[in-house]
Structure 1
Amino acid sequence: MSAEEAFTDDLMVLEEEAMKVSEQVQAYHRKLMAPIWEKRREMVKKIPNFWNQVFTNSTLSEMDPTDNDIEAIENLVDFHVEYDDNKPDYRKVTATFKKNNVFKNETLVKEFTIDPESDATVISKSTIDYHENKAPNQKKRKANDDDDDFDGMEFLDWFSNDDARMGILLTEDIFPNALDYYQGDESDEDIDEEIELGSDSEGNRVVNSSLDFYN
């Protein structure tokens, strides 16, 4: 092994150590933020259309939302993420909706893991009870699945499918930064940077390797 190769190997080991530290920092940050997010959850229930505004200002709105997605988000009254201090890769997403013309469920829940060293894995998912003629077109969905360039949003369908990738964006960016998105404080440039790097509660950029799944 040449000196250059040995140096490259050392750099890779150092980078892995840095990523592990970053993941520990993020886990600790989530633990400290949990009670604050609970307080926020109760406070924003008094704000009409809070979560609709959050999602409208987020990067998801740029991903070709379906009509079902748009109506679902317009009727979204609560959106919450649960983390597990003992299982840093675990996520549980719970979304609560008003009565709407798309589906009958009041609550949709999805559990998954986002281990950056393997793949995002779905643990459990909801079965969506659509109103008549509102279920997604299966032929169109298959065509989209076969299209490598398809970048559709599919927010609602995500709760019932086996794909966990969108959950990374939901739990690592949109949920933690909900107030920023609601206020519209984030420019497009800032959003792009945060998807790549993430940010802490003070606005400082931190490495967020788990978001690489979504890119």
Structure 2
Amino acid sequence: MSASAAKISRKENSNHDGADETSEKEQQEAIEHIDEVQNEIDRLNEQASEEILKVEQKYIKLRQPFFQKRSELIAKIPNFWVTTFVNHPQVSALLGEEDEEALHYLSRVEVTEFEDIKSGYRIDFYFDENPYFENKVLSKEFHLNESGDPASKSTEIKWKAGKDLTKRAGQMSNKAGKKRPHDEPDSFFTWFTDHSDAGADELGEVIKDDIWPNPLQYYLVPDMEDEEGEGDGDGVGDDDDDEEEGLEDIDEGDEEEGEDEDEDGDGEDGEDDGEDD
């Protein structure tokens, strides 16, 4: 290789190394700028969360009088809450026959979200005098503990003698006559003593987020199905049946007329034969 060629080669390598160094420096600067922009986005997200929380708190207060009025109206309907729970697919899976009997004494349900919504909520179940336990109110509360982790606590149920459904439930079956899966509570009331995973308490979330906002939709489920069934019986289906019956009558009439014509035809032929004789 000539001297001039060697110089050119070294120059090219030098330029390539410089380009790599420049590229790495630009990338590092870009990463630092991205981090700064991301911090601004996070700051705005936190600000949005605070403002959303204020709006939610505002509307929680505005909804309270309507929840109170709804509770007063529900109190006029016997067995409203037990019917609502039985009609809810997820809750009904936890109900044995004796659970349902006990829930017939449930007169009111209240869900209270704490002022700092993120910190938790409480569900209160109000019961009339009943043969199962002494409590007038059973509550379960979900909150954040001192370390900021989800936790829960609940009312201790004061069972009457021989009426503890959480102990008897293991030998009970659900309405369909099938044993419940082992990973499900043996009784609805076992839920009050289960604090193993407060952050993933499905029943609490279902009651708070699905049933409580509009319990009427589950209370009315069977009635709506019955109305649809009645509509099918009184509507198009009956018309079809009438039309089929009408067609059958027409067919039978045609067959009878055909038979009469055949008989008359035979008689005339016989007379003609006699005249010929």
**Aligned 1:189-200 pairs, distance under 5 A:** none
Among 176, 184, 187, the residue aligned to 1:154:
187
1:91 counterpart = 2:159:
no
Paired residues, what number?
A: 172
> For 2:168 and 2:218, how far apart are their aligned partners in 1?
33
Q: String of CA shifts for 1:7-52, please: whole Å, max 9, x gaps.
A: xxx9xx89xx5x959x747655544322211111112111111112
**Structure 1 residue 183 corresponds to structure 2 residue 220:** yes
Relative contact order, CA 8 A, sep 6+: which one is greater?
1
Describe the SS at the equivalent of 2:131.
Answer: coil
Structure 1 pair 71–148 and aligned structure 2 pair: CA distance change class (3 A)? closer
Q: CA deviation at 1:114?
A: 7.3
What is the correspondence of 1:75-90 to structure 2 with a 5 Å cutoff? 75-90=105-120
Match of 2:9 in 1: none
Counterpart selection for 1:111 from 131, 136, 141? 141
Residues 68 and 102 of structure 1 are in contact (CA less than 8 Å); yes or no, is this contact kept in structure 2?
no
Cross-structure match for 1:174? 211
**Alignment partner for residue 130 of structure 1, among 159, 169, 185?**
159
Cα distance, 1:182 vs structure 2: 1.8
Percent pairwise identity = 26
Shift, 1:67, TM fit:
3.7
Task: Indicate the residue corresponding to 2:85 in structure 1.
Answer: 55
Structure 1 residue 81: Cα displacement: 1.0
Shift of 1:63: 1.5
The verdict on how the C-alpha distance between 1:62 and 1:44 changes in structure 2, with shifts beyond 3 A counting, is closer
* 1:121 partner amino acid: A
Tell me, which stretches of 5 or more residues in structure 2 are unaligned? 1-26, 28-33, 172-179, 225-277
Q: Take 1:102 and 1:54, find their aligned partners in 2: how far apart are those partners?
A: 21
User: Which of the residues 39, 45, 50 maps onto 2:69?
Assistant: 39
The RMSD of aligned alpha carbons is: 4.1
SS at match of 2:73: helix
TM-score (norm 2): 0.49
Contact 1:65-1:152 at 8 Å conserved across structures = no
- In structure 2, give the amino acid aligned to 1:157: T
Q: 1:102 matched to which residue of 2? A: 132
Any unmatched runs of 5+ in structure 1?
142-146, 188-215
Structure having the larger proportion of residues in helix:
2
- Return the letter of the residue paired with 1:105: N
Query: What SS does the corresponding residue of 1:159 show, helix, strand or coil?
Result: helix
Question: Does the 8 Å CA contact 2:85/2:92 hold for their aligned counterparts?
Answer: no
CA shift at 1:183, angstroms?
Answer: 2.1
CA distance in 2, matches of 1:148, 1:27: 39
Deviation per CA, 1:92-112, whole angstroms, max 9, x where unpaired? 111111222222212112221
**What residue number does 1:205 align with?**
none
Once residues 131 and 100 of structure 1 are traced to their aligned partners in structure 2, the CA distance between those partners, rounded to angstroms, is 10
Higher alpha-carbon Rg: 2
What is the one-letter code of the residue matched to 2:195?
D
